[in-house]
């Protein structure tokens, strides 16, 4: 995948670099252990610095489409975005996004990051579709994905407990022709 993975992408307020062990920090660790940040994530907190280091090394070794999201003006790492797995036979990728720095929530940065990476996947990698899974009760994420153009393709009831509630999950899809 490395020949297809952009080492540096940029948007108006953000830049994207492949996520690597260089991004290991106390700040990053704090996001993963913040209940408000991990509420709808499968990882569910309880990360240690050693565990995060191991995770970053594993992801880096897998050589997947996984970027750190950084702000142009401050060079600060505010989240991550990935396309994993990639299915080359069916020409689609599975999308994931995390803005871990809560001080950056509500500023449109998640949409800007998603738009840039999805554009890269459709224009450069020539994907025909991007798919994702999201907890239905994660209303800000569902709203964002619908705004980008994702459509709900299925709903799974009672998929797990998130935020002390039994939640449903949604599968969503964005076709190339519906994005541009």
Q: pLDDT by residue for the chain (180 residues), tens digit each?
A: 444 466 889 999 999 999 999 999 999 999 999 988 988 887 777 889 999 999 999 988 887 899 999 999 999 999 999 999 999 899 999 999 999 999 999 999 999 999 999 999 999 999 999 999 999 999 999 999 999 999 999 999 998 887 788 899 999 999 999 987
Tokens found for residue 171? 């599968």
- Token match 């798919």: residue? 131
Question: DSSP character for 46?
Answer: -
Tokens found for residue 123? 């224009």
- CB-based contact 105:51 (threshold 8 Å): no
Query: What is the pairing mode between strands 92-99 and 129-135?
Result: parallel
Q: Where are the alpha helices (DSSP H) in the chain?
A: 26-32, 35-38, 49-62, 109-123, 139-148, 176-179
Structural domain boundaries in the chain: 9-127
Domain 9-127 has CATH 2.60.40.420: no
């Amino acid at each position: 995948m490395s020949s297809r993975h952009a080492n540096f992408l940029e948007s108006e307020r953000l830049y994207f670099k492949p996520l690597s062990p260089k991004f290991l920090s106390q700040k990053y660790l704090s996001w993963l252990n913040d209940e408000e940040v991990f509420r709808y994530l499968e990882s569910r907190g309880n990360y240690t610095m050693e565990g995060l280091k191991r995770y970053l090394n594993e992801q880096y070794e897998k050589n997947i489409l996984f970027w750190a999201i950084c702000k142009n003006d401050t060079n600060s790492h505010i989240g991550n975005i990935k396309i994993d797995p990639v299915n080359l036979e069916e020409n689609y990728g599975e999308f994931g996004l995390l803005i871990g720095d809560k001080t950056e929530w509500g500023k449109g940065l998640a949409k800007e990051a998603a738009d840039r990476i999805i554009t890269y996947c459709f224009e450069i990698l020539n994907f025909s579709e991007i798919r994702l899974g999201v907890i239905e009760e994660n209303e800000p994420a569902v709203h964002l994905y619908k705004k980008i153009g994702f459509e709900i393709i299925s709903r799974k009831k009672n998929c797990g407990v998130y935020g002390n509630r039994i939640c449903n999950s949604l599968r969503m899809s964005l076709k190339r022709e519906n994005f541009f």
